[in-house]
Amino acid sequence: MQMSDGGNAGMAAPENMAAVLAAYEWRRNTVGQSGGAVYRLHGKAGAPDLFLKSGKGLVADDITDEMARLCWLSAYLPVPALVQFTRTADEAWLLMTAMPGETAYQILAHSPEQRSAVVAAIARFLRRIHAIPTSACPFTSNHEYRLARAQERLNAGLVDEEDFDDERQGWSAVQVWDALQALLPLASDPVVTHGDYSLDNILIKDGEVVACIDVGRVGIADRYQDIAIAWNSLGEFGASLQEEFLQQYDVPSFDREKLDFHLMLDEFF
């Protein structure tokens, strides 16, 4: 089944999704992608907006991971509802509901007067994620696991060196890898983590977080996995908001080495 977005060449969706996808307009979403394709489906009379993710190879594996985590996490947090999932040997399609609200990034960018309130909401929601019992979580995302995945991506030439943070512009992926190794071993403080707690993955409405999205990295890991990415995302809006976030979350004995480690680890994904 070939679908199109706004007259451009579309993606091939599986036939078993045809009835659900019929009569929707398609708009490709390019924010926060790490391979594959993401479409917002809208404009179908009497039907809710949906999101469709698809990809091949390693991206298909990531989409499969997200499907499993969506199903589990929905018992604890507001996340998109699974509508349909299809997987072949090399490709996956994940169809889910669109969630209300604007991203935290959008609000911080266009409503400066709300910035402190948004930071407080982000911190509260992160404490809520980290309070989920680790005994209930079947997924592991600790740094040993993620280092193994990072090495796979490094060896496969999949690391985008042009997309490194400013602190590592001009570095090679091997240099980042070596810097990571120099910080090991790290003591772990395991909690249930989102895994990619960036401003684009947090939806806010009426001053509160109403959902988190892109949950394919959810799992038990050190809490700095989330703290580091949120802190780094807030840096675009100034160091004062980064400090506010740490205070609102109540980060125990701030560990700069852990923060740096997790930011460098994230360069590989």
Q: Is 76 exposed, middle or buried (0-12, 13-18, 19+ CB in 10 A)?
A: middle
65: amino acid identity, one letter: D
Of the candidates 114, 111, 101, which has an alpha carbon nearest to the alpha carbon of residue 202? 101
With b meaning 16 or more CB within 10 Å and e meaning fewer, what string describes 4-25?
ebeeeebbebbeebeebbeebe
User: Which backbone phi and psi does 211 adopt, to 5 degrees?
Assistant: -175, 155
How far apart CA 247 and CA 194 sit, in angstroms, is 20
Total Cβ atoms within 10 A of residue 222: 22
- Bond prior to 185 in cis (omega within 30° of 0): yes
Query: What 3-state class would DSSP assign to 56?
Result: strand
For residue 216, give Cα distances in angstroms to 36, 56, 140, 179.
Answer: 14, 15, 12, 26
196 is catalytic: yes
- Out of 196, 214, 222, 226, the active site residue is 196
How far apart CA 102 and CA 133 sit, in angstroms, is 28
How far apart CA 259 and CA 255 sit, in angstroms, is 6
Residue 260: DSSP 8-state = H
Kindly state the tokens that stand for 57: 């190879």
| Residues with active-site annotation | 196
